Amino acid sequence: MNYLYSAIGALLMAFAVGNVLEPMQLVTGGVSGIAIMVKQYTERLFSHNEWFVGGYFSEGIPLWLTTIVVNIPLFIAAYKRKGSNFVGNSLWGTVCLTVFLGVLPQFKILPKDTVLCSLFGGLIEGVGIGLVLLSKGSTGGSDLFATLLHDVFPHHSIPRIMGMIDGVVVAAGFFVFGMEKGLYALITIFIISFTSDLVIGGLGRSHIAFIISDYSKQIAGAVMREMNRGITGIDVKGLYRDRNRTMLMCVTSKKQLVAIKEIVAKYDPQAFVIITNAKETLGEGFLSLGNNIR
């Protein structure tokens, strides 16, 4: 399943980069951003020079070729420094992405609407990246480079180094394609980040309800009896009135929040209730902990 998730994710990423982002000159960082800039620049350079390699690069150096050229030295360095196990986690996703970039037919989805392209491209690539990360893999590029640089600069975390690398690539996109395209690319980056987090964390976000009431036992009993939902009691002390109470904590889905509110209102309309989002919920009744360690 990990190989399948990684392959599907790479397919979506290749489609987004080749058919949505590259035609609109949207640079979102990483190797794909470098490949987009190289393709656009070489297209201008070789479009009128058919003598160069028989005119093969008249539409610019293909995205897949730049991906290979950039990733090969990174994989070699990573293999020498980190070993085969580390490289193996990224190799499959990188190969799939490169192959799909080479074989998928490229055409403009929305040739005149940059706004929709930035949103639509970010959504597709975000889902793809999320699936690749769910498979515990990567597509190489800035991931590998950041890991290698971390050995040289151990006081900086790998995510921070990745952010710096992608920031340099995005800044280069501003320089190559102009301010307007760069700002649209920032929108795409936000959508990618939000969507990939949503895929990794789960489409059904959980919620946490904290309930402080003088009728904690009755409320807890009703929640467990009527909703078949576990609930935890935590001893707390209210400093305003200097009173000891039992605060209830219940993790639930969005659909069950209404039922919890109704139960609390039934037993104690004056109860103090706090509801917040849970980014990820693992364990009994939710996602399996063993299969979701990142």
- Residue 246: φ, ψ to 5°: -110, 115
What pLDDT does 12 receive?
Answer: 93
Which positions of the chain have pLDDT values less than 70?
Answer: 46-58, 86, 89, 157-160, 200-205, 255, 280-294
What pLDDT does 124 receive?
Answer: 92
With a CB cutoff of 8 Å and minimum separation 6, the contacts of 193 are 126
Inter-CA distances, 110 with 44, 137, 181, Å? 22, 31, 15
Please tell me the distance from the alpha carbon of residue 18 to that of residue 100, in angstroms, as a whole number: 9
What pLDDT does 45 receive?
Answer: 74
Please tell me the distance from the alpha carbon of residue 78 to that of residue 223, in angstroms, as a whole number: 52
Please tell me the distance from the alpha carbon of residue 207 to that of residue 210, in angstroms, as a whole number: 10
Q: Which of 127, 149, 117, 248 shows the shortest CA–CA distance to 196?
A: 127
- Coil, helix or strand at residue 62: coil
Burial of 230 (0-12, 13-18, 19+ CB in 10 A): middle
Threshold 0.75, pTM exceeds:
no
Domains (range + CATH), the chain: 2-201 (no CATH), 206-278 (3.30.70.120)
Angle at Cα 216 formed by Cα 212 and Cα 219, nearest 5°? 110
Mean pLDDT score of the chain:
82
Please tell me the distance from the alpha carbon of residue 255 to that of residue 57, in angstroms, as a whole number: 55
- Coil, helix or strand at residue 212: strand
What pLDDT does 48 receive?
Answer: 62
Place of tokens 């920032």: 186
Number of Cβ within 10 Å of residue 162's Cβ equals 20
Instruction: Judge contact between 11 and 92, C-beta under 8 A.
Output: no
Instruction: Judge contact between 170 and 43, C-beta under 8 A.
Output: no
What pLDDT does 28 receive?
Answer: 85
What pLDDT does 202 receive?
Answer: 60
Q: Which of 32, 34, 151 shows the shortest CA–CA distance to 98?
A: 32
Please tell me the distance from the alpha carbon of residue 277 to that of residue 194, in angstroms, as a whole number: 15
What pLDDT does 47 receive?
Answer: 64
Structure tokens at 130: 């999320």
Edge-to-edge, what's the strand order for the sheet holding 243-253? 232-238, 243-253, 206-212, 272-278
